[in-house]
Chain A
């Protein structure tokens, strides 16, 4: 019985923290997000060298071969620093190929994702913004040994930076006639663009496909399914779980940073002759933040552990974690700014950056309404 991190995981955390403190403090983040790309290609290459881009990719494909608990350790630290990069997107694209790809497909794509030469992302959602099988409407028309896709995928994280897209599309009219395919950013008819979002450290956008031919050799047939084309929903659902878990990993680090900033402010700011942190009107919301962060950690670590060790428990565990985290972080963002008073509203102070992250993170891979409803359904209601 051991619900804690290993020494190796503690070391990984310290190493990530050292790098981000040295190379990408918030002042640097503020500079990066103004750039065209929105992230640093130089740091991206460094992350690749350190083995963090392929952290969860098996060693035989150029990765570090670690698990999702390790990945969560990494994400807590990138979240704490609001580190802008397509790290989550690329890891999720790799996970799609690991979960549902053939040996040949893994050998073809994973090494380039691990070494940073390719940037991957998931293109699952469409403009309807529905996170279920019925939300996928893009229809692939069979044409010889390929499907032809015309249409758009929406809310694609890091769309502008990516050159490998894992695209969900429909192969027929049945509820779960779905496929998952790897689409090369350079293929004919593929165009992608990112927008700046409410959170300046995150870019999200649209993938447009115009008569793009997706060869059947690029279809991920699904390790969960029977290998038949058009039965990709279990693999897609698993990606949604992975996405929810990854998003929550960054939420924890960001929420802890917001709490630390606000606690420090409450110790320093003097009003009515005392640090405001002495007053219970300030103390209690800070204690509530701590309770929520501790609880989010427990829920998330268990979900990440289940991804590697107990797959049957993942849907409920991932949904509990993301649901709880979405609401908690939203409150932490608002309370953090409010407890800072007027300076919290200024562009100069950092707390507002965390409020913005909370707004970005809430709908990403499902908000609390979506995930609590899923928990209710899974529980037989």
Chain B
């Protein structure tokens, strides 16, 4: 065991820190439009957008450890994201790099890196959530196009996206339901697509239903082979698996909770003196630290070239629990004031803790529900029979 970084990795850390000192000084207004424009230009010039992608497609060619260092330092300073095309950078781009034709790479990758427009993801359907491979949205090949009919749902930022990565079923006869799926890249302006936003319980509309009515998608926009859609979406590009960015963010949240406990009162004394409050904060710390260290163990395996199967579900479960419990714990600390929203007389911190405590489903349900993660661990790691 050895937690030290190599000299060149340390040098990279210094480079990132120096960049942050210069470009993100204390007190920067991170919502300022011209600051953000400048930030995006500079991190792009550094090739820190798509940092793990190969250099020949315009990425940074960063090593696994350098990715961890970059994410950790960025997250520690609460820096704006590296790049603005969120889903493009997270999975659309990696899938195109791995499975796309040269023409597709030239057409889409530079725009994703430059953040020219947003991508959305058409996976979930009304009848198909956790059991994604059972999807029914239909694509029928007619000459040079696929004609798509069906519906997607929970499609985040569909209303602001120019393109969608879409999974359709092109074959209803295959023995395995995974084999009949094809991946298409679809321009949202194509005739026959209708987007209807869905308002969530915190009052904002971040996701939508998307309806496809005889939507004609050129065959040249198919990603991978027909029937290969399932593999295409499970990209194998070497991106680091340490959960370091999430962990750093969770530690920052814990810091906020501790600070809140110090200025809240329970039974007339500071909540931070209350034995249960102290214990709960320490329990959160243990889980976050466990996530950090689990991540480093998984990272070590990645570095040694040992395949990771489903171990990362462990950290997903911790994170899901922490998101729910930490959000809720803040409300407990606030007592009656937790009921207030912005503008009420005794609202604390502008009522932000209340809305904060309603946002967990995005993380907890979005990336595969905790029950699905437990199935994955039980079936793939413990080898229990499939349900």
Contact = CB atoms under 8 A, between A and B. Distances in A.
Interface of A: 1-6, 69, 259, 263, 266-267, 274-275, 277-280, 282-284, 286-288, 290-291, 294-299, 301-302, 305, 309, 320, 323-324, 369, 371-373, 375-376, 379-381
Contact of B378 (A283, A295, A323, A376): A283
A373 B275 contact: yes
Contact of B384 (A283, A305, A372): A283
A2 B2 contact: yes
B311 interface: yes
B287 A295 contact: yes
Contacts of B287: 295, 324
Contacts of B374: 280, 283-284, 287-288
A299 B286 contact: yes
Interface stretch (B87-95, B117-125, B289-297): B289-297
Interface in B363-379: 371, 373-375, 377-379
Interface residues of B, number: 50
Contact of A376 (B282, B301, B303, B318): B282
B387 interface: yes
Nearest to B381: A290
B299 A3 contact: yes
Nearest to A289: B382
Given A3-B1, A3-B296, A280 B375 contact: yes
6 contacts: A1-B9, A3-B299, A277-B385, A290-B378, A298-B297, A375-B282
A283 B290 contact: no
A369 B289 CA distance: 18
B3 interface: yes
A1 B290 contact: no
Nearest to B379: A283
Nearest to B283: A372
Interface of B: 1-5, 9, 65, 258, 261-262, 272, 275, 278-279, 281-283, 285-287, 289-291, 293-294, 296-297, 299-301, 303-304, 311, 314, 317-318, 371, 373-375, 377-379, 381-387
Given A295-B287, A369-B279, A376-B282, A280 B382 contact: no
A17 B278 CA distance: 40
Contacts of B262: 381
Nearest to A375: B282
A298 B1 contact: no
Contact of B286 (A274, A320, A380): A320
Given A2-B1, A302-B293, A372-B286, A284 B301 contact: no
B3 A1 contact: yes
Contact of A277 (B282, B311, B384): B384
A69 B1 CA distance: 8
Given A1-B4, A375-B286, A290 B377 contact: yes
Contacts of A287: 373-375, 377-378, 382
Nearest to A303: B293
User: What 4 A-B pairs have minimum CB-CB distances, sorted nearest first?
Assistant: A298-B293, A295-B290, A372-B282, A287-B374
A380 B383 CA distance: 44
A1 B65 contact: yes
B282 A4 contact: no
A379 B255 CA distance: 10
Given A2-B1, A3-B3, A295-B314, A263 B286 contact: no
B384 A373 contact: no
Contacts of A301: 1, 293, 297
A68 B384 CA distance: 34
Nearest to B370: A284
B320 to A, nearest CB: 11
Contact of B294 (A280, A282, A294, A380): A294
B286 A267 contact: no
Contact of A1 (B272, B303, B318, B387): B303
Nearest to A283: B378
